[in-house]
Structure 1
Amino acid sequence: MTEPRIAAAGLRVTRSGRDLLHDVDLTVRSGEHWALLGPNGAGKSTMLAVLGATSHPTAGTVEVLGRRLGRTDVRALREHIGHVDPRHRVLSPLTVLEVVLTGLTGTTDLMLRWEPTAEQLDAAHRLVADVGLVARTDARWPVLSQGERGRALIARALVAEPDLLLLDEPATGLDVAAREHLLETVDALRTRRPDLSSVMVTHHLEDLPASTSHALLLRDGAVVAQGPADAVVTSSAVSAAFAFPLTVDRVGGRWHARRAPGATRASHPSS
């Protein structure tokens, strides 16, 4: 069995005297694609920040790509982690190709006096093709649709050949067609990069790609359930995480959630 890409034990994150996460254990192995699910305030963003080495745990241990947080150079570690965030800011009117190339430097703009090697440029072009943006290679960021931006950011995250990919609600703001195109792009990674591990945060089951292999459900900073996706993304577990009676179905590899028959608005404890 390969060394885990992520190994967290007893993870706790406390801010201003409040536990945002507590008693979280998580192991992610090579080739696994995890969904991190839960309502607002469940601790998903906090968890992703720790896994991306941009935040540190208050207690417990977290190893990312074999390196323990608190005992490693996090700047060097981040070079091996790809991060897809639809809120990523591109301040200059870069082209699609240029945005992808910024993934090699970990910057929001092209660095002065920096030039990619021929191999890096070829890799960037291949990734632009992989995410279906060849016809938009030279299109500039301000004129791209939200869906095109999302796919460009996936290519940007992959250009440095990371071992771990973190996706922070990548379907945010997308219409149905753009969401489906983006999720097809994510699904294709399983074939193109079989050793790549990923963790995706989302509120909506409909935003999960069919390639999702495992899931972790959070509520109030604690784990409700975790494990293989088919055993975790169920009506009972998702209802417990969201504190609302839901019926969850999986059709054609994709999940859908709806109000359980007979459930009323009054059934929701926060209503």
Structure 2
Amino acid sequence: MPAVTLRLAQGTPCWVSLLTDDLAGARAFYGDLVGWTYSPGPTQLGDYVRAELDGEPVAGLGVSTATGFPVQWTTYFAVDSADHTAQLVRACGGTVAVGPLQAERAGRMAIVADVSGAVFGLWQGEELTGREAVPEPGELAWAELLTPDAEGASAFYGAVLNRPVRPTDSDESALLVDGRPVAGIRHGAELRGHPPRWQVHFAVRDADLTARRAADLGGRVLVEPHDTARGRAARLADPQGGHFSVLETP
């Protein structure tokens, strides 16, 4: 009997991918900072590798082929049908930038944007189902949208992903899957003229130590380590300009 691959539940952040103008530099930086190793990935959109921990894929790194496209991390959400969800994105006022297209045998994907312009991905997993956020060093720990219109974004993602979005005790709302918060939506007062964006948070053992190490490796500390409701965190940038956060976990 053939093996059965189970996708993650629709709406679950399941993958993060970096588009950069210096793939070799990004591989070296993140490999040293969070311990990733790499293996080849799908090549439809250019050079692309999968970052791995203990042989398991946890993220993707690729070369941006668009002139002037910013170096950035993209959060992907698991969906049952990338084609159907892309249609819902358009129907709800968002845009579809890439796809849906087949990523070889790994799955089907699209890159889209919400009504405020925040970019995110859709992933219909096949051979590669993706990884649910977990508090293990080097893995995706949390995804959070910063937006000037948190109420509108909550309605958009609730409709597109067919999942409830509810206010939490903090200053954000949470996208729920099976009653569990899987991603945050927050009014981004700190955007200060920057476009809305999904922030990725990688789990680390020590946020202060990781911030210092990032600077030693040629990155930047954008927001110094500080205590949050989810744990001690820091906002960093890699040497190529890709922004990401680290979150200290037990």
TM-score (norm 2): 0.32
Q: Which has the higher relative contact order, 1 or 2, with Cα contacts under 8 A spaced 6 or more apart? A: 1
Larger helix proportion, structure 1 or 2? Answer: 1
| Higher alpha-carbon Rg | 1
Larger strand proportion, structure 1 or 2? Answer: 2
